[in-house]
Chain A
Amino acid sequence: MSRRVSLLALQRDFRGHLTDASSNGSGWTDACMAPGLAVYHNAYRVQLSDCLAETFARTNAWLGGEAFVAAARTHIEAWPPTGWTLGDYGARFADTLAELYPDDPEVAELARLEWLLSRAFEGADASALSVEAMAEVDWDNALVAFVSSLRTVMVRTNAAAICSALAQDVLPPAAALLPEPGTLLIWRQDFTPCFRTVEKIQHDAIALLSAGASFAALCEMLVAARGESDGIALAGAMLGQWFQDGLISAIGAS
């Protein structure tokens, strides 16, 4: 025999039935409700599992279906969804994979890369400056702003190469540690999410400019690191690459 409870109490208990089928609740259910509760309990898991499989298609391909489903199940048990959009649900999946696969760091790094690509896909629009805009800039006082979709992430493995191969449907390389940890840049060029591996010094350069330093300050940093001639040449090369990649949204004056 069911009994009436407040709507808030019912919804709290219903949450318990979704996340834990053995939850007893506070008595508003009866035997007639069991088949229906089972439908909702199952649909909750299927929805979240499908969401992870869609967001992390390359990680799914790398791990293999059964291992991915098991990892998704672990994640769903550990992290009930909180956001209004299913699009946010994968935010912590790379952390779950890092715990499940401590000896295979490329798994979590691949998932983290896929997650950031998915965020870039629907990130805010920002027009990139054309190369022609370089000619009008007073570089002694220039402040460089990057497109808002730009994210950086440190990597220890060849997850980027694995990701590229899986995207092109070719045989991915074996997992391997990089000779030196590197940085991945992830951003959106027009409507297409992109990524590129860069050296640590380029990561430091982007961090410096993003923190509000001028281009002149960047040149000073590079000259200190590489010497006068190579430092200035490197600043020019990075700048040219950033324009070419559509990474720069504005150049202001300090």
Chain B
Amino acid sequence: MTSFHGFGLGLRTVHYPDFLERQVPVDFVEVISENFMIDGGRPLDILDRIRQRYPVALHGVSMSIGSADGLDLEHLGRLKRLVDRIDPLFVSDHLCWTRIEGFNSHDLLPLPYTAEALDVVCANVAQAQDALGRTMLIENPSSYLAFADADMTEWEFLAELCGRTGCELLLDVNNIFVSATNHGFDALEYLGGIPADRVRQIHLAGHSQGKALLIDTHDTPVPTSVWSLYAAALARIGPVATMIERDDAIPPPADLLAELDMARAIDAARECLAA
């Protein structure tokens, strides 16, 4: 596996003119896979043109690797065609489930971290990697409930998943912070428990305070708490591709590039400390 150490942004439709008309100073962009798993039209044409200018990571939201009744083969086939078309930097999806028996929630729903769930997720990830012909990155989700009868922690679950399937990790630092706050675990213990050598990409984002829980809203700048955790993550993982993820209240690219400069500065500080 080639290690890619760059800084990117999540590409959203409001940014298309900026990214197509000039060279935005990013090392890669990430798009939501499902938005382009379509038959044709302007979105795919734009993605083709974006790909000519930037490396592209494909980030999925609907593979549902936690579904007890297996993967949706139409989804997998369409993703395979998109992967073949784009030759992406990474292909990722979430440690969650979205669909069961023909019902699709279109939300990233939590899994109980049990031995049974681990078997299901490993089988689904192995099937997806076989079909795609490449290693996938699995992202830790934000979650709003925890299952009391879990057999293992989320980080232990991810470590087992990597060991059994060869998959790698997309570590969402904001999601660690949100889930740690909501469920009362130690975010640093989480970072210490994941297989650092399997992390290929990091997501940074903001969150909001809900009535009783932190909510992963992606509608605010990256907060200080997440920057601090990012610095701790880099200290453990080393150089790794990093991306700012913003899905609502999307500001101009300049604002996101300023946030990306913060990530670059934290990474540079890590290099100085490591030297």
Partner of B41, one of A28, A82, A191: A191
Q: Is A81 within 8 A of B41, CB to CB?
A: no
Given contacts A10-B112, A125-B41, A191-B42, contact A40 B34 (CB under 8 A): no
- Interface class of chain A by DSSP: helix
Q: Is A123 within 8 A of B116, CB to CB?
A: no
Interface members, chain A 171-209 (any B CB < 8 Å): 188, 191
Q: Is B43 within 8 A of A44, CB to CB?
A: no
CA distance A220 to B264 in the complex (A): 72
Q: How many residues of A contact B (CB 8 A)?
A: 42
- Interface class of chain B by DSSP: loop
Q: How many B residues touch the partner, as a band?
A: 35 or more
A192 to chain B, nearest CB (A): 8
CA distance A3 to B67 in the complex (A): 20
Q: Is A80 within 8 A of B34, CB to CB?
A: no
> Which residues of the other chain, B, contact A232 by a CB distance below 8 angstroms?
none
Q: Is B40 within 8 A of A82, CB to CB?
A: no
Q: Is A81 within 8 A of B42, CB to CB?
A: no
> Which residues of the other chain, A, contact B149 by a CB distance below 8 angstroms?
2-4
Partner of A28, one of B38, B143, B147: B147
Given contacts A10-B112, A35-B144, A84-B75, contact A18 B213 (CB under 8 A): no
Given contacts A35-B212, A191-B42, contact A83 B144 (CB under 8 A): no
Chain A contacts to B: CB under 8 angstroms: 2-4, 6-8, 10-12, 14-15, 18, 28, 30, 32-33, 35-37, 39-40, 43-44, 47-48, 51, 80-87, 89, 121-125, 188, 191
Q: A-B pairs with the 3 shortest C-beta distances? A: A36-B145, A125-B40, A36-B144
Can you list 8 A-B contacts with CB-CB less than 8 angstroms, sorted by A residue number? Answer: A2-B147, A4-B114, A7-B66, A15-B105, A35-B212, A36-B145, A44-B105, A122-B38
